[in-house]
Amino acid sequence: MERFARIERNTNETQIKLSLDVDGQGRAELETGVPFLNHMLDLFAKHGQFNLTIDAKGDIEIDDHHTTEDIGICLGQALREALGDKRGIKRYGNAFVPMDETLAQVVIDLSNRPHLEIRADFPSQKVGNFDTELVHEFLWKLALEARMNLHVIVHYGKNTHHMIEAIFKALARALDEATTIDPRMKGVLPSTKGML
């Protein structure tokens, strides 16, 4: 069963082509126009063992908001499409990732009930030219479009770059766990309701 999706989004603000292979080898081909986001999505692909391709053009001369937000939308849509009816998946994922002085945790339920809780106080408003408030925008749109319950906790940290990097690595590893096919499930939906 191939768990793959290709998404295109064209608005007056962004033009995005994105493909996601859930059962990949951690390969990434990324051109977002936002260097820090490229770096984070490269880490995401490698740590989740996802193959991810993104070609994005956006109004970054204004700021990085629309591009970052719309990539989150497209990635969430691709994840939801690639997983189909979610039969046989583990559904839940949990990952802790240390990054020097930082410890981040991400907990996921691919429940079809979108929600984001984030507990992270970034010391800096920017990493290079990237506005750190866009991490919330990206994660919220990802959770909404993938229809997942996403909890992000930075237990402690001092360096904003380290904190965000640990979040993206933990997100990838938690998603890898949640999307893993559990052979014991034998194609059954992981829900007592009989649907997700």
Give residue 119's identity as a one-letter amino acid code.
Answer: R
Handedness of CA 72, 34, 7, 5 (dihedral sign): negative
Residue 194 clears pLDDT 80, i.e. is over it? no
Residue 98: CB atoms within 10 Å: 14
Environment class of 59 (CB within 10 Å of its CB; exposed 0-12, middle 13-18, buried 19+): middle
Cα 165 to Cα 51: distance, rounded to the nearest angstrom:
19
The per-residue pLDDT for 29 is: 98
List, for residues 16-36, the tens digit of each pLDDT value.
999 999 999 999 999 999 999
Cα 173 to Cα 3: distance, rounded to the nearest angstrom:
17
The per-residue pLDDT for 36 is: 98
Give residue 1's identity as a one-letter amino acid code.
Answer: M
List, for residues 104-116, the tens digit of each pLDDT value.
999 999 999 999 9
Residue 186 clears pLDDT 90, i.e. is over it? no
Q: How confident is the model at residue 54 (pLDDT cuts 50, 70, 90)?
A: very high
